[in-house]
């Protein structure tokens, strides 16, 4: 399998979770991958596992200088950049009333500003060459509201809008920009207490597929958008959410058929 043969990809937040699953899948599909993350130990371990196919670069997505460093190290190791997956992000569970300004700004800066900088700085590299694919990882919560996730929802809605604008500004220059909207995924962020899958699934009875998602299921969607198989997709938003956004599956309500 070589859907990304001869392509060079940068994946932010690539040291663990959905990012690590994407790194492994891209490498298996023929890409040379840069794991860009602040988690040095995890990133170095993954790069060693994929020796020859990936390198790790310490990267703060909120820093323009750090983005320049990633570009320099990517080009030195592998050459020009074909794919960027803006995956790095943080989650904050707090009501609006209990969210401090500093809390809100941290989430917005990492999730949204980090994606903006990647889209802008790597996008400039891609448009100069006239080709490339940028995949922005938003969230199902970038398409709906969720109590206790004010800062997170705001950042993910922002990524959704930014993607649309970038698609319009970059598409005619040969660079496709699309967004992926994961629902609940079994990662350190989505399952912070490392509960057994069966236990986690009990909280997903309202979702049509009635289970939590797996990191590789998101990675497969990013692979499609990164590859030439999605050559006519630009500005698309793909929900990888088990049907969460379809609506709530009612169980136990009077009159509900429960089928």
Residue 256 counted as domain residue: no
Determine, yes or no, domain membership for 62: yes
Residue at 162 is within a domain: yes
Query: What is the Cα–Cα distance from 121 to 213, expressed in whole angstroms?
Result: 31
**Inside any domain, residue 250:** no
Q: Supply the pLDDT for residue 249.
A: 72
Tell me which residue of 145, 148, 117, 121 sits closest to 132, measured CA to CA.
121
The CATH number covering residue 151 comes to 3.40.50.720
* 79 domain-assigned: yes
| pTM as predicted | 0.94
Domain that holds residue 30: 8-240
Q: Domains in the chain: how many in total?
A: 1
Tens-place pLDDT, residues 42-76: 999 999 999 999 999 999 999 999 999 999 999 99
Residues near 112 by beta carbon (within 8 Å), at least 6 away in sequence: 154, 155, 158, 159, 162
Q: Does 252 fall in a domain? A: no
Q: What pLDDT digit, counting tens, does each position of 100-154 carry?
A: 999 999 999 999 999 999 999 999 999 999 999 999 999 999 999 999 999 999 9
Nearest to residue 245, comparing CAs of 207, 204, 218, 213? 207
- Give the torsion through C-alpha atoms of 61, 135, 13, 118, to 10 deg: -10
Is 152 an active-site residue? yes
- The three-class DSSP label of residue 67 is helix
Q: Is residue 88 one of the residues assigned to a domain? A: yes
Residue with tokens 């995949």: 135
Is 226 a domain residue?
yes
131: Cα separation from own chain's centroid: 20
Residue 221 has pLDDT above 60, yes or no: yes
Residue 98, both tokens: 């209990």
């Amino acid at each position: 399998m070589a859907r990304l043969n001869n392509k060079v990809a940068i994946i932010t937040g690539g040291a663990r979770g959905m990012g690590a699953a994407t790194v492994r899948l891209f490498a298996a599909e023929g890409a040379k991958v840069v794991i860009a993350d602040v988690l040095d130990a995890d990133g170095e371990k993954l790069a060693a596992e994929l020796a020859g196919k990936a390198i790790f670069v310490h990267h703060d997505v909120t820093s323009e200088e750090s983005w320049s460093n990633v570009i320099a190290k990517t080009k030195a190791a592998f050459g020009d950049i074909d794919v960027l997956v803006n995956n790095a992000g943080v989650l904050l569970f707090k009501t609006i009333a209990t969210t401090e300004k500093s809390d809100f700004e941290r989430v917005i800066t990492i999730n949204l500003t980090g994606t903006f900088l990647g889209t802008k700085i790597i996008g400039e590299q891609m448009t100069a060459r006239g080709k490339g694919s940028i995949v922005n990882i938003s969230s199902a919560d970038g398409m709906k509201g969720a109590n206790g996730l004010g800062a997170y929802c705001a950042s993910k809605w922002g990524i959704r809008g930014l993607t649309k604008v970038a698609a319009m500004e970059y598409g005619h220059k040969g660079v496709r920009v699309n967004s992926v909207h994961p629902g609940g995924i079994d990662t350190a962020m989505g399952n912070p207490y490392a509960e057994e899958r069966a236990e986690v699934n009990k909280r997903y009875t309202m979702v049509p597929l009635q289970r939590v998602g797996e990191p590789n299921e998101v990675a497969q969607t990013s692979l499609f958008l990164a590859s030439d198989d999605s050559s006519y997709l630009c500005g698309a938003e793909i929900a990888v959410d088990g049907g969460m956004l379809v609506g709530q599956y009612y169980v136990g309500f009077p009159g509900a058929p429960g089928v």
